[in-house]
Chain A
């Protein structure tokens, strides 16, 4: 007496021999379809469902033999390597996407602290767009602003001109910042790094009479220089 659960019993016995668990379901389904097709055909030929099922299972051959042969083709070692590397690739892809999105968000979100300075506090604001390049990294000075508290604000961005090269230059330090009297200024800086890194420096106690700003970078055998005329806002606007 053969019933549909005999088929299930047979299939379960086959997949019992498959050591790599992730392939079991697919094998079960493939063989199940095959047996169903055979049952259908034998049934059409006039056999009862029971007899057709019985015959179909018998035609498949010994469950242990089939299972052992199939197991040889489903090497658990290779299967696991494949599974892990497949997961690794997907995981890596998601992480890369997340980093990329975060980069964009922080690039936008950090915004422009210069804009937060009230208009009435501004003594002068130079909108400059001066660029220098170290290796493939571009340093682009955007704003120089002097306020009535004696603070000189410098905003600049840095980015890679070649997207494929991720170079380690950060440039949260612009080098020596001096005025025409040779006074060196040190200030607090903040940066956000991303595809485009945003940088912001505040120099306290900047001499209100200074009319020149010199930025000279000379580190690791790499140089750039910027020279700005201050208090001549019109020149850059």
Chain B
């Protein structure tokens, strides 16, 4: 099943910050990571990643710098900030609570798999 949507909204921020928390990445790298990890479940328009990245930057959750990537081309890398890490933590908590609650409604308390 493929979920077609634009990469805008709360879940996008969670996804991007989670990836950047592992290492600094440029836009295309982020897209590739999401593609691979989700088995291409998220088929969003790739251009919609950049408003998310630039919003995160405006909020101070990430910062950017230019560096030569493995191909030797100049890339705009994004790096998570301390504020970003704190925000990620809060978002994760929220997401867990949300998914647990949704599962409770869908399957009754018997199917709850909280961590």
Contact = CB atoms under 8 A, between A and B. Distances in A.
Secondary structure class of chain B's binding surface, majority of residues: helix
B47 A61 contact: yes
A74 B45 contact: no
Contacts of A128: none
Contacts of B28: 33-34, 37-38
A11 B47 CA distance: 11
B73 A66 contact: no
A39 to B, nearest CB: 11
Given A30-B76, A33-B75, A37-B28, A70 B51 contact: yes
B55 interface: yes
Contacts of B58: 73
A215 interface: no
Interface string B37-68: 00000000111101100110110000000000
B90 interface: no
Contacts of A27: 50
Nearest to A10: B47
Interface in A178-233: none
A18 to B, nearest CB: 10
B64 to A, nearest CB: 9
A38 B47 CA distance: 12
A59 B4 CA distance: 12
A120 interface: no
A3 to B, nearest CB: 20
A62 interface: yes
6 contacts: A36-B73, A38-B28, A66-B47, A72-B51, A72-B55, A73-B54
Given A59-B45, A61-B46, 16 more contacts: A27-B50, A31-B50, A33-B28, A33-B74, A33-B75, A34-B46, A38-B46, A59-B46, A61-B6, A61-B47, A65-B6, A65-B48, A66-B48, A69-B48, A69-B51, A70-B51
